[in-house]
Chain A
């Protein structure tokens, strides 16, 4: 069980393959600190960021309570649970069903006076580097497209986003994301841990790794 059954290959900024990490042990920590898979120059990695573990004949990636999380590229329509974060191009987006204000008086019988009510199904927030929220889009409809131009939500200045990049869908209370054949893919933040398959791509901080299982 300890034989090397998988390796992680770094994808360089120009798209070519970089260094490979053979996963020969049982657990393989990755992070900015003293880890088997170490990227000391990446400020977006926690000292101990993630762990690649063999369990039940599967390769699993576990988020070791990192600040920025572990993102895996989706290969098919993927359900988004509450508080999901999605990476498209350089955009770190939070996607949630749009909350609605309640029209209830306070204990003195006074109603809150806010902005005009606009129907909305989805709320997409842009998480800026450093932690503040930038754009917040509230959109109506069951399907919302994201891309560089002519979509419901556009990021015209992000060179890593395809023209039509991804699609968010809400149906029967379930929220999901589908990649629309984008060049750089759509990534979803892993909650706790998840099984990896051959050919998966994992983002840790600024490091993009391809999973190869022998």
Chain B
């Protein structure tokens, strides 16, 4: 365990930021962590660490008791709600992504691909090009590292014995990227502190996204190798979730209808909405005994693991608000949730979700595919991106 210096929360050893307050954790990184990843994260940590801390750290206190760290931070450009809501306390140290940055070390065999695979748009300069792992062969099709004993590439299935023995592809240089001067379509990484990180070039038509498809993705342990696809047609696009483990989330810009089973994200909370319907009669007419239902029509359940859920909150009345402090349902220890964050409303037998001007936004999981556009915010793995399609 690593104990956060700011709020005292215990974090798992591989976390780089505190799950309680978002502060940088200063434990020594584990040996063997991907070097490219570390270089990138250090930059982010340096910026986060330079932020002034408004309240003094309270040693030994859990995050429940510590006032949520209020740190003036620039919000990502185009983020609604940051400045427009007078009196709303910033919800946390981070203006941009709602996702905590714990990043487990990647198992050695799952080292992300090295360098850009053919057919993938160029990378922006600024990301260190990883070197191939010792003893590995590079897949000529997708660029993944493949152990010498493998006959097929574990990432794309390319038949390795068709390839000549260990290929040496020179590491990409700055010239590998698309010239900066040219107008281009891309997706820009929004760092945890709200500033812009690198960007990933896109092209008209089909764009595959995932750990196998670019330097900006390859060290995100929460991204599947082939995670999503972005089909761009002029200024509009459709994002497809390619059966990824963690899915694709899009930041809501208007009220949306919720159907049962819909997964949403606010702050660090991954929530599943379910309708609570009237009970069905049993075969022999016996009714299932239980606590009286005072009129619950829905429920939000906190997803805490792949097949495990945590707390659940039934929804009662015309609407229920979610927040850190001022909602009907509160997550007081989640510094990335705004005081009043979102609202679930029952209207004419249908259920709607609306963001209430939260700092970090309300994200809705893409079920299959979804239309997105210029300046849409898309959450992939643990990283937030803004689409630039203009």
Contacts and interface: CB of A to CB of B under 8 A. Distances in A.
Interface of A: 32, 43-47, 66-69, 90-93, 99-103, 105-106, 108-120, 123, 125-138, 157-158, 205-206
Nearest to B225: A108
B57 to A, nearest CB: 19
Most chain B beta-carbon contacts within 10 A, residue among A47, A106, A132: A132
Interface in B205-237: 211, 221-225
Interface in B289-306: 289-294, 296, 299, 301-306
Interface SS of B by simple majority: loop
B308 A47 contact: no
Contact of B279 (A101, A110, A130): A130
A113 B222 contact: yes
A21 to B, nearest CB: 21
Interface in B89-117: 99-100, 104, 106-107, 109-110
Contacts of B107: 105, 109
Contacts of B106: 105, 109
Nearest to A127: B290
A102 B109 contact: no
Interface string B302-337: 111110111111100000000000000000011000
21 contacts: A67-B289, A91-B291, A105-B106, A108-B224, A109-B106, A109-B107, A109-B110, A110-B211, A110-B244, A113-B245, A115-B271, A116-B269, A117-B304, A118-B310, A123-B310, A128-B276, A128-B292, A129-B293, A130-B280, A134-B296, A136-B312
A68 B288 contact: yes
B268 A135 contact: no
Nearest to B274: A132
Interface string B343-384: 000000000000000000000000000000000000001100
A131 B225 contact: no
A103 B311 contact: no
B110 A130 contact: no
A117 B19 contact: yes
Contacts of A108: 110, 224-225, 245
Contact of A44 (B246, B276, B287, B304): B287
Given A66-B286, A101-B305, A132-B277, 8 more contacts: A45-B286, A100-B305, A113-B381, A115-B304, A120-B310, A129-B279, A129-B293, A130-B279
Q: Which 3 A-B residue pairings sit nearest by Cβ, starting from the closest? A: A130-B279, A101-B305, A109-B110
Nearest to A98: B310
B211 to A, nearest CB: 7
A163 B223 CA distance: 48
Contacts of B109: 109
B168 interface: no
B284 interface: yes
A113 B270 contact: yes
A127 B313 CA distance: 13
B266 to A, nearest CB: 10
Contacts of B19: 116-117
Contacts of B302: 115
Nearest to A139: B311
A123 B304 CA distance: 13
Contacts of B280: 130
A127 B12 CA distance: 33
A130 B270 contact: no
